[in-house]
Amino acid sequence: MILKAKNINNIGGSVKAPPSKSYSHRAVILASLAEGTSTINDILLSEDVLSSIRACKDLGAEITQNENSLKIKGTEALHNSETQPINLENSGTTLRLMTSVAALADNETTLTGDSSLQTRPMQPLLDALKPLGVKTESTDGKAPITIKPGYKGGITSILGNISSQYISSIIISAPLSRNGVNLTVFPEFKSKPYVDMTLDIMEKFGIRINEKSFTKHEDCDKSLKDCEFVYYEIPKQKYKPTEYTVEGDYSSASYLLAAAAIAGGNVEVKNLFRDSKQGDKVILDILEMMGAEITRNDDSVIINSDGNLKGIDINLSNTPDLLITVAILAALAEGTTNITGVKHARVKETDRIDTTCRELEKLGCELTEYEDGMSITGGIHGGTVDSHGDHRLAMAFSLINLKHEVSVTNGEVFDVSFPNFIEAMESIGLNLELVEE
């Protein structure tokens, strides 16, 4: 379907940020591993999170839904009830997090998904699990992946510059391994805030982890500015059932905030916490640098903009999910924006550097693509672009309608992370619609 603007009113008002997708995934999985019943409030029931719910059910958790909350009766005694592979659809987060968790089951589990998910590289995680006694089978280190029982634990290591979800996967599963896990993350550690989020919610479910950082100069790549190794000591422990409320998502809120920045206006976004561990709250700093005025409250953010944005230099190594939003802001700003540090964005739902550049070029954008980012000079026109099945591309490119008429084919994929995206945008003045192609 085609996502396009129906009409545009003055941008302004108040809107609630959707619940965090990252925290929602983790809350479902941790509650499913706890012995007893947990309540997860304000859960994001997006397509991705539903994949995690189905996978946890298949491994033995009892999950019931009541509007936007879940009751989850978890179990340490995981058992794969499916004789067929568990289909995770397009959820890369579920695949990465559940690969380690499935190794805790008492029988083998096969995880698979759609054609896009089957292109995601998983070999670094499989390699890191091997010293922990986990045996897996796959073709070229991609789904379908069969995970066999036998998670002994022990000592392992992994590179930190590919996907933080590999690291979170090991950390989440490690407390229930036979002997606990000692994990070393080699530099450079990209997207560490996402791992910090994992540690944050694990603490809420009763898990304590010892984290240390150290520098080892003799092992350092001379090209690295910093050479910091991070070490996680994760002893054998039990998850405790709890009542947990999911906070608002800065990644999804970036589209609401960017709309006000682009069009000009005053918008309050509720359910965004000042003390959040989410790395994507750096969107507030980015918008300020580009010329918007930001007010940070304890549980909300207010943006005021005149619609005149300026180019900036920004490293998004810790926040790759902001790449496409910042690229759209750059294309509508005065001057040149240089985005660096996001080589790992090439292994998301799409190669987000390539797809963003190719679609911006369709709109007349002057840009240069680099291995780890892009340089964008503001100035584009309307046209038609394709989402490539990427929810973040669909949402970010729809914002261009605030200045130029743009249609996004395959635009319905925002359901992956922001099911009420159209309603939320309408509440602040951008009226979007889905029409048949």
**285 lies in a domain?**
yes
Residue 191 and residue 251 in one domain = no
Active-site entry in 321, 351, 354, 390 = 321
Please compute the mean of the pLDDT values over residues 61-85 and round it to a whole number: 93
Residue 297 and residue 200 in one domain = no
pLDDT tens digits, 351-398: 999 999 999 999 999 999 999 999 999 999 999 999 999 999 999 999
Range of the domain at 272: 2-19+247-435
pLDDT of residue 240: 98
Residue 110 and residue 230 in one domain = yes
Please compute the mean of the pLDDT values over residues 166-183 and round it to a whole number: 98
pLDDT tens digits, 230-247: 999 999 999 999 999 999
**415 included as an active-site residue:** no
**403 lies in a domain?**
yes
Of residues 134 and 66, which shows the higher confidence score?
134
Tally of structural domains, the chain: 2
pLDDT tens digits, 26-58: 999 999 999 999 999 999 999 999 999 999 999
Quick check: 143 pLDDT over 70? yes
Look at residues 236, 256, 285 and tell me which one is the last residue of a structural domain. 236
**242 lies in a domain?**
no
Residue 187 and residue 282 in one domain = no
Query: CA 155, CA 179: separation in Å to the nearest integer?
Result: 10
pLDDT of residue 24: 98
Residue 144 and residue 291 in one domain = no
Residue 355 and residue 430 in one domain = yes
pTM of the model: 0.91
Quick check: 146 pLDDT over 70? yes
pLDDT of residue 223: 52
Residue 222 and residue 258 in one domain = no
Residue 197 and residue 281 in one domain = no
Quick check: 219 pLDDT over 60? no
pLDDT-derived band at 222 (thresholds 50, 70, 90) equals low
pLDDT of residue 224: 52
Query: CA 402, CA 411: separation in Å to the nearest integer?
Result: 17
Residue 25 and residue 12 in one domain = no
Residue 272 and residue 348 in one domain = yes
Residue 193 and residue 265 in one domain = no
pLDDT of residue 188: 86
pLDDT of residue 81: 87
**222 lies in a domain?**
yes
Quick check: 220 pLDDT over 60? no
Look at residues 236, 258, 275 and tell me which one is the last residue of a structural domain. 236
pLDDT of residue 349: 86
CATH number (domain holding residue 277)? 3.65.10.10
Look at residues 236, 263, 281 and tell me which one is the last residue of a structural domain. 236
pLDDT-derived band at 83 (thresholds 50, 70, 90) equals confident
pLDDT-derived band at 268 (thresholds 50, 70, 90) equals very high
Residue 253 and residue 208 in one domain = no
**241 lies in a domain?**
no
Please compute the mean of the pLDDT values over residues 199-217 and round it to a whole number: 91
pLDDT tens digits, 397-416: 999 999 999 999 999 999 99
365, two tokens: 């954008």
Is there a contact between 419 and 425 (Cβ–Cβ < 8 Å)?
Answer: no
